[in-house]
Structure 1
Amino acid sequence: MAAEISRRQLLIGGGAGVGLIVAWAAWPRRYGARPAAAAGETVMGPFLKIGADGHVTVIVPQAETGQGAWTALPQMLADELGCDWRTVAVEPAPIGPLYANALAVEGLAADVTPVPLRKVTMRLADRWAADHEAMLTGFSTSVRAFERPMREAGATARALLCMAAARRWDADWRACDTQAGFVIRGNDRLRFAELAAEAASLTPPKTPPLRAPGEGKLAGQPLPRIDVPAKIDGSMRFAADVRLPGMVFAAIRQAPPGDSRLVHLDKEAARAVPDLVAILDNPGWVAAVGDNWWAANRALDKLAPRFETKGGLPDSGSIDAALAKALAADGHSILSHGKPDGLLGDQAIHADYSAGLAAHAAIETPAATARITDGRLDLWVGTQAPAAARAAAARAIGVPEGDVMLYPMPLGGGFGAGFDTRPAEQAAILAQKLGRPVQLMWSRVEECLHDRFRPPARARLSAALGPGGTIAAWRAQVATPATIRDTVERLYPSLPIEHGGEPAAVEGMLPGYAIPAFAIDHHPADIALPTGVLRGETAGVTTFFAESFIDELALKAGADPLSFRITLLGANPRLAHCLSTAATLGGWEGGGKGSGQGLACFAGYGSFIAVMAEAHVGADGRITVSRLTASVDCGRAVNPALVRQQIEGGLLFALPAAIGDPITVTRGLPDQRRLGALGLPKLSQLPELQVDIVASTAAPGGVSGLAVPPVAPAIANALAAATGRRCRTLPLRSAA
């Protein structure tokens, strides 16, 4: 049966009142997830419901982390449907393979599989999507992955509504159209709500009648965000806002990484804390439970837990040594072309770079609410991987995944931290042990201590200049943990993953320039500290290495850094346009000594960006970034306001990792345990921002992580121009 069902058929369903579904029954059983219909709602397919009062609910399979997914995806569907934006609402999608992020799945499968094993990669992607319901939010894929499904869902529903109206008017449905929530034909008008139940029972056209670009009234418009009003008035509910009858509150302390065990608790002191309900310990952590979270956290302070770890614990020194050891060992070839080593002779230019850990530092600390009733687990959690979180919670308490109902909540900033399944697992265990609903929330200190930081890295770069300001050869060796592989293994422990070099670990090390001979190697490093995905991914580090080195090559060639780059971008006109635009808007003066101006560019996620920075070092030795100018080509902008917000947010997000305080590690735990210890810029220290969005008819690209990679190298290049000294370490230090 599965082979006989087309994608078009899967898009169509129907129902009214109590949630009757028409076409869903034809699905194979493994596609059992479907949106629930409230009284008066008609399900028009897996992505759309229409209510009797005219409201349109879009089923969104991507988490809202502040990036605007709950606006951009509904906007694409609403544009095709022809509805009134004021009537559009959002509902998170249930867990199921139909809502899998195919683009992220394919990308990650390639990232964790060595290049010679591409057939294995595709089998891995197929198995992942089929067996693991790989719903993922991240890697700037939301619009790119779901533009087509959302548009097709809206166009098909529009066709069905026009068919239903045409029946009443005894007309050809192709003569009908939709506008602002009505089906129209001349002076005839019928509301969607009047037609939805009838429309859902009809047979759709074989091909969804997609509108031509610009034909709709909503796509490309800076429509107001759906999530903002609730965030402003405080009615938006996050995982820590859930309230259940009889619920208690838990705080937690966790062991350092490695083989650790709990060796001491002062339970007598903790029991003196008012409102304490219980003390529960588990391998690797201890939790205090109270009638309120404040009591639970106070009790943990009194418990004064101590953990013992077998073997040594990593610190900043051992991490640096592990990176140096990995760089000295043989690496894994990820990309190569030509014979660069034969061109890297005595005149070759060499430079070593390094980057430290970087924190997520999201506004919301990890939280989850759990309840077990008759052996079934209800779980409320903000997550970027809901199927993986559900599976992890089920494993933690020994129940089938089918007995877990996960309610995906919005996140107060994810940046990759939402891939962590620990809060879901811990809350499930606590609910099982307590026999009552429990809400677990990590303290800010706990979040800082057990963040899965962006991994550190070391790089050795070599290049040979060619005639006319070109680069004849380029070699890059990068020592860093295989973080994407480790993340995928944590999320999907049964997947067969090849170990070795990781393509994602060196993403950004081959900049978008014309270089005839190159070699890019990954040297996997075991730093004995868990790491994770951060906004901008590894390119947040590798672009710093590559674009800083490009400036060094320009200096050796005696060329203006802008002219040097433009010469190399003949085959990349979109990136060249961004670069020249950013330089023009920023008032580029050549980047000479004392100018304090620097440039960097980046191509990724199907988009292009260039950033110009103005920075200087004050008399007190502090780095000040006074201005960041960016030019962005992300193809068709579904919502220009969202694009601007994400670019501005990315520029500012990248600042702490670029000029903030370094993160140091002692005995397996970071020394920085508060947001204030990360060197986050204050409002008065933020640079002036200027963002240009290039008008484009190309396919939409990703923007959420786009602005992060070029910020650090643009600032580094500006500081080198300001001071005459090159800092090759991230975070940047003025005395380097």
Structure 2
Amino acid sequence: MTITQNRRNFLASSLGLVVAVSLPLRGRAQSGAALAFQPDGTAAAFEPNAFIRVGEDDLVTVIIKHIEFGQGPMTGLSTLVAEEMDADWSQMRAESAPADDEKYKNLLFGLQGTGGSTAMANSYTQMRKAGAAARAMLVQAAADEWGVDAYTITIANGVLTSGDKTSTFGPLAAKAAMLTPPEDPPVKDPKDFVLIGKDRPKLDSQAKSNGTAVFTMDMDLPGMEYVVIRHAPMLGGTVASYDDAAALAVPGVTAVHQIPQGIAVYATSTYAALTGRNALTVEWDDSVAETRSSDQMMKDLSALATSETGLMIEESGDITSALTGAAQTIEAEFHFPYLAHAPMEPLDAVIEVKDGSAETWGGFQFPGFDKQAVAGTLGLDITKVKLNVMLAGGSFGRRAQPSAQIGSEIGAIAAAAGRDGSWKLIWTREDDLTGGYYRPMTVHKMRGALDADGNITGWHNTVVNQSIMAGGPMEMMMQDGKDPTSYEGSVKMPYDLANLRVDWVRAESKVPVLWWRSVGHSHTAYATEVFLDQLLEAGGKDPVQGRLDLLKSDMTRDRAVLEKVAAMAGWDGQKVKNGKGYGVSLHESFNTYVAQIAEVEDRDGFPHVTKVWCAVDCGVAVNPNVIRAQVEGAIGYGLGSVLFNAITLGEGGVVQEQNFDTYRMLRINEMPAVEVEIIASDADPSGIGEPGTPPVGPAVANAWRALTGTAVTTLPLTTPAGA
């Protein structure tokens, strides 16, 4: 293998590792595709096809297989590589990988994708091995050039040294690329970590702060047209007929086409496209749409909760005898509304069709699905489609779309145009909030039994909601008709409840549903931890000690975070102090253990959260700074949802919330002080993007009940006047 004239060299191993000579990147972290859209058009010297690229300028670029939308994989995965290469942090760069299900697959999914808080968990060993292989190749290259034994060479802060000989990475990159990568290079003992476990600034923060980061919404190709889609106002509705005369009369509107998703308006500007869409006259067919109101749907779910149609998910002991023989029984029914994800950057994508091939750009969370959708819609072989993963302005699950919604739409737009060209699809905030794919509306019907001493002797939970997995590519993950994302967190609880039963009833609706930050845990943690608190209170038990007493003997990590958060908050058994209420919650999700205590005060009848203490055990803390940021963000996100958020369908099934004036977000003056402590651990890293969300709702609700005596079983908690 030789170095080509354009100074490129590829060498791939089973790790997918590449050591190559390249020009430097402009930013510290960016979508690889976005580099071509920097103001001066500077692009990377070559398109990466693996995990690591070393430039002769000493820069180390890590190709990140997980989409970056603020949760930190560019920084976290680059830290793993830098640690094993003994690189200096200042020389690290990150770049998004293009769509390639085989090369960049999530090892826990089997395809390229980000979700379930798995980015670090599935990449921890893989990226460390890739870094170790790159290090070994650089060391061998130096040994060959210097005529010394490899074992005499050390690396620190990106500098190789053997006696009086030194070199940085760049001068050795070309020679290292000629070597055969080691198949299974050893990685460091954790005691030797230099970067892992230390606070580091995120690689993408500077570019996002100064405006040089390129998102899909920033892209502008020569001759590109802007497209918006008029979707049906009722979920599941279709076009019956339309009149586009007024739309075509709008200056700048170039075409109007019906596509499977609605009516697409093409224009020379976003303004013209939106104006043209508003001018359309459309008759809709709601014969297969959801036309029930939210009130009616919730009543239907509540009725299902008492039916005999559920599937038994978990059972131990004899719940029937426990309930009938109890000294006291308590019942509660929890109602959870549909929730939108509402990421700050709504869905968007860009496509260019040219000479029988297509290239697409977007914030694709499962890029393989979207690539297939584009190819299928345009009638192209998959090899004729290139899909670039861009930085994205949030997701919270919205972009993790097995139905390839955005890929299908951008493909349909190009197909309907019937010619070569480029188009940008733009969703507005109104499109985003009314477009479906919500967290499922859910009911939990709870029954608990207590003996004469106040001990819990029975627990029965019936969960009712739609299945997220059914009817799509993920249906294969269901077993015996059961969708674990519907009830996860209500089963395998850490508490020793001798007589327990959990049932799931699958509801049906035309409303499309999707995983929302922490998925099933977002409602199961609330129902189980609030109901448990009620049972402990009825039995005269302390909320913290009562939970500790119930923990199974092997639940050491649960116990550790609960004891830690109690110490952080100075828990003394008083649930009300100085006019403030205090509530606790404990929940494990995505193999991460989290306990929280919330401090709440009453402001004109509305709960105001003043502080949240949080203890978290997520295994090895690769970057504590990112972990704290994710937990703080998760608490804010979860708090907004339990206080304010609900997607409601009115008469005829039309979504009522159109923008942030009615889908109320948490405001800066409502964000509590947050104190986060990370439990030291030598376990492999687990998820951190989602686990901070589930516990905040029950902690707040438990504090509010302690303060006011009001149990909150229907979310959101309440809405203040004039909100």
Match among 535, 555, 559 for residue 537 of structure 2: 555
Aligned to 1:384: 365
Report the equivalent of 1:292.
269
SS of the equivalent of 2:339 reads coil
Which of the residues 243, 268, 284 maps onto 1:307?
284
- After TM superposition, give the deviation of residue 600 of structure 1 in Å: 0.5
1:138 aligns to 2:120 (yes or no): no
Q: Is the alpha carbon distance of 1:178 and 1:44 closer, same or farther for their aligned partners in structure 2, counting shifts above 3 Å? A: farther
User: Counterpart of 1:624 in structure 2: which amino acid?
Assistant: H
Contact 2:637/2:693, CA 8 A, preserved across alignment: yes
Find the aligned partners of 2:502 and 2:344 in 1 and give their Cα distance. 36
1:182 and 1:190 in contact (8 A); partners too: yes
In the other structure, the counterpart of 1:631 is 615
1:547-595 CA distance string (max 9 Å, x none) = 0011011112101111101111243222222222222322334254675
* The one of 591, 609, 617 aligned to 1:606: 591
Q: Structure 2 CA distance, aligned partners of 1:194 and 1:330? A: 69
Which residue in 2 is equivalent to 1:523?
Answer: 505
Paired residue secondary structure (2:93): strand
Deviation at residue 47 of structure 1 after TM alignment: 1.1
Paired residue type of 2:148: A
Q: 8 Å contact 1:42–1:51 — kept in the other structure?
A: no
Deviation at residue 35 of structure 1 after TM alignment:
10
Distance 2:616 2:469 in 1: 27
- Correspondence for 2:322 among 343, 354, 372: 343
Q: 2:381, 2:115 → 1: CA distance? A: 27
- 1:200-349 to 2 correspondence within 5 Å? 200-256=177-233, 260-311=237-288, 313-327=291-305, 328-347=307-326, 348-349=329-330
In 2 relative to 1, CA 188–471 (structure 1 residues): closer, same or farther, beyond 3 Å?
farther
| TM-fit CA distance, 1:668 | 3.0
State the Cα RMSD in Å.
2.6
Displacement after TM superposition at 1:499 (Å): 6.3
User: Does the CA contact (< 8 Å) of 2:261 and 2:409 recur in 1?
Assistant: no
Q: Write out per-residue CA displacement over residues 466-502 of structure 1, whole angstroms, 9 at most, x where no aligned residue.
A: 687653332221001111345xx1x568x68656221
Q: Does structure 2 retain, via aligned residues, the 8 Å contact 1:222–1:640?
A: yes
1:566 alignment partner, SS class: helix
1:415 counterpart letter in structure 2 = F
Counterpart CA distance in 2 for 1:281 and 1:270 is 13
2:430 to 428, 445, 456: 445
Aligned to 2:102: 97
8 A Cα contact 2:17 2:52, kept in partner: no
Other-structure match for 1:110 = none
Shift of 1:34: 8.8
Find the aligned partners of 1:733 and 1:44 in 2 and give their Cα distance: 51
Residue in 2 aligned with 1:645? Answer: 629
Q: Give the alignment partner of residue 475 of structure 1, picking from 456, 460, 466.
A: 460
**Ranges of 4+ aligned residues in structure 1 off by more than 4 Å:** 13-18, 31-45, 256-259, 466-470, 495-499
8 Å Cα contact 1:314/1:527 also seen in 2 = no
Give the CA deviation at 1:32: 11
The code of the aligned residue for 1:627 comes to: K
CA contact (8 A) 2:575 2:703 kept: no
Q: Could you tell me how far 1:399 is from its partner in structure 2?
A: 1.8
Aligned to 2:55: 51
Shift of the 284–205 alpha-carbon distance from structure 1 to 2, 3 Å rule, reads closer
Partner Cα distance (2:105, 2:654) in 1: 35
The structural deviation recorded for 1:618 is 2.5
Q: Is 1:513 aligned with 2:495?
A: yes
- Contact 2:199–2:624 (CA under 8 A) maintained in structure 1: yes
For 2:143 and 2:18, locate their aligned partners in 1 and report how far apart those are by CA, in whole Å. Answer: 29
TM (norm. structure 1) is 0.88
1:460 to 445, 456, 460: 445
Contact 1:463/1:471 (<8 A) preserved: yes
Distance in structure 2 (CA, Å) of the matches to 1:147 and 1:47? 13
Query: Could you give the per-residue CA deviations for residues 49-79 of structure 1, whole angstroms, max 9, x where no partner exists?
Result: 1112111111111000100011101111111
What are structure 1's unaligned runs of at least 5 residues? 1-12, 106-128
Distance in 2 (alpha carbons) for counterparts of 1:225 and 1:14: 36
Q: Do the aligned partners of residues 198 and 480 (structure 1) sit closer, same or farther apart at CA in structure 2, a change above 3 Å counting? A: same
Deviation at residue 653 of structure 1 after TM alignment = 0.4
1:193 to 166, 170, 173: 170
Q: What is the rounded CA distance, in whole Å, between the counterparts of 1:658 and 1:410 in structure 2?
A: 28
> Structure 2: which amino acid aligns with 1:431?
A
Quote the offset at 1:623 in angstroms.
2.4
Q: How far is 1:696 from its partner?
A: 2.3
Judging changes above 3 Å, is the alpha-carbon distance between structure 1 residues 167 and 393 closer, same or farther for their aligned structure 2 residues? same
What do the CA deviations read for 1:198-230 (whole angstroms, capped 9, x no partner)? Answer: 223223445312111141321111111111111
| Structure 2 CA distance for aligned equivalents of residues 207 and 268 of structure 1 | 65
The secondary structure found in structure 2 opposite 1:665 is coil
The 1-side partners of 2:7 and 2:19 are apart by: 12
The answer to whether the 8 A contact 1:727-1:734 is kept is no
Change (3 A) 1:289 1:205: closer
Q: Does 1:355 align with 2:336?
A: yes
Distance 2:477 2:639 in 1: 37
Identity %: 29
Deviates more, 1:167-176 or 1:703-712: 167-176
Any conservation in 1 of the 2:255–2:265 contact (CA below 8 Å)? yes
1:584-623 alignment runs, 5 A limit? 584-592=567-575, 595-619=580-604, 621-623=605-607
- In the aligned structure 2, how far is the partner of 1:51 from the partner of 1:414? 32
SS of aligned partner of 1:476: strand
For 2:445 and 2:298, locate their aligned partners in 1 and report how far apart those are by CA, in whole Å.
14
| Number of residue-to-residue matches in the alignment | 685
**Shift in Å at residue 197 of structure 1?**
2.1
Question: Structure 2: where are the runs of 5+ without partners?
Answer: 25-44
Residues 214 and 609 from structure 1, CA distance in 2 versus in 1: closer, same or farther, beyond 3 angstroms? same
